[in-house]
Structure 1
Amino acid sequence: MAIFAWVLEIGGKGAAMSDFDVTRQTERDWVEVWRVLQPAFRAGESYPLPRDVSEEDARRYWIKTDGYNAVARDSAGLVIGVYYLRPDQGGPGDHICNAGYVIAEAARGKGYATALCLQSQDQAREMGFRGMKFNLVVSSNAAAIKAWKKAGMEIIATVPGAFRHPALGFVDANVMFKSL
């Protein structure tokens, strides 16, 4: 178990974020993890899953045997966010990880996405990864792009029209990367 306190620059001023606890996800956590994932998956604005994805299919997507899943809880024990880390490729490409994050709706806009990304980078280094790559950051998801850039990720490519947004139609998707 690890406790983190982060200070992020918000509007030019340092703003202290409350402590949060990040632990490896266990079987017991799934119900709470699904409560965080389900609204994001149903919205269809950021993950390449059908909006009506079943809980079991979502679970198979989120949890991989070669990966690491984490749960972040605030000081009251409420789940504020979740993430996964896993090799982006196999074999000679397995030193670069892929990661995905979802912040609970009630915790959004408070800097947790950036803080979790930074914490996951530490976790990725501990696991031996030398870089982190996001394959599909939807260009209309400005909050995510801002958070990932604050965490040191850079846009290295943009794929035109790669994501079918439910309200905006075909939008671009960014590939982001950071050396670890």
Structure 2
Amino acid sequence: MPIREATTDDWPRIWPFWHRIVAAGETYTWDPDTSPADARALWMNPPKQVFVAEDTSGTVVGSAYVTRNYAGPAAGIANAGFMVDPDHAGRGIGRALAEHVLVAARAAGWRAMVFNAVVETNPAVHLWTSLGFTVVGTVPDAFDHPRHGRVGLHVMHRRL
């Protein structure tokens, strides 16, 4: 599966699934009513390094970014975000993006990666643990899930 750095021209191909995922309110802490312009700023703006995954027809089926998580003396710790078009879920796209981002983050000199708010009911928790991330803490009852009620938000970490 081709994975490449995103360009500004990719945003209109990312936005439909970005919006669908965030509006569902099940996996991201962003406002479900985020405007296209604000969403673009959240996902695409530097200093993020943004990637897209394409299927064989050139359709963008997923996207990910890597950026710094902290500043100052902790600036060597990365953060990342991942989204796969729900219409293409279950095909290994999330794993391929994750592996690509981990390699890119290591190559860029990041020492570790932290996810600050992984909804504990998110199926991706299994992906992250299979890739060596550990839950270093959970904020209980921090996320109002539309189906499960209040659930925790995991903080996850992995050395690079």
> Structure 1: how far apart are the matches of 2:60 and 2:14?
8
Find the counterpart in structure 1 of residue 93 from structure 2.
112
Aligned counterparts of 2:66 and 2:142: Cα–Cα separation in 1: 22
User: Post-superposition shift, 1:171?
Assistant: 0.7
TM-score by length of 2: 0.95
Tell me, yes or no, if structure 1 residue 58 matches structure 2 residue 4. no
Alignment partner of 1:139 out of 105, 120, 124:
120
Q: Secondary structure at the match of 2:128?
A: helix
Which ranges of 4 or more aligned residues in structure 1 deviate by more than 3 Å?
none
Which residue of the partner structure matches residue 4 of structure 1? none
| Offset, 1:151 | 1.6
Instruction: Give the Å deviation of 1:168.
Output: 2.4
Give the structure, 1 or 2, with the largest relative contact order (CA under 8 Å, sep 6 or more): 2
User: What's 2:64 paired with?
Assistant: 83
Pair 1:156 & 2:115 matched: no
Deviation of 1:169 (Å): 2.4
Q: Match of 2:25?
A: 44
Match of 2:109 in 1: 128
Query: Which of 131, 150, 154 lines up with 1:170 in the alignment?
Result: 150
The percentage of counterpart residues that share the same residue type is: 35
- CA contact 1:64–1:86 (8 Å) conserved in 2: no
Give unmatched runs, 5+ long, in structure 2.
none
Give TM-score scaled by structure 1 length: 0.85
The alpha-carbon deviation at position 28 of structure 1 amounts to 0.7
Distance apart, 1:50 and its partner CA: 1.5
Conserved in 2, the CA contact under 8 Å of 1:161 and 1:170? yes
Task: List gaps (5 residues or longer) in structure 1.
Answer: 1-19
Root-mean-square deviation (Å): 1.1
Deviation of the 1:52 alpha carbon? 1.3
**Secondary structure at the counterpart of residue 65 of structure 1:** coil
Name 1:97's counterpart in structure 2.
78
Q: Counterpart of 2:107 in structure 1: which amino acid?
A: E
Q: Which amino acid aligns with 1:110?
A: R
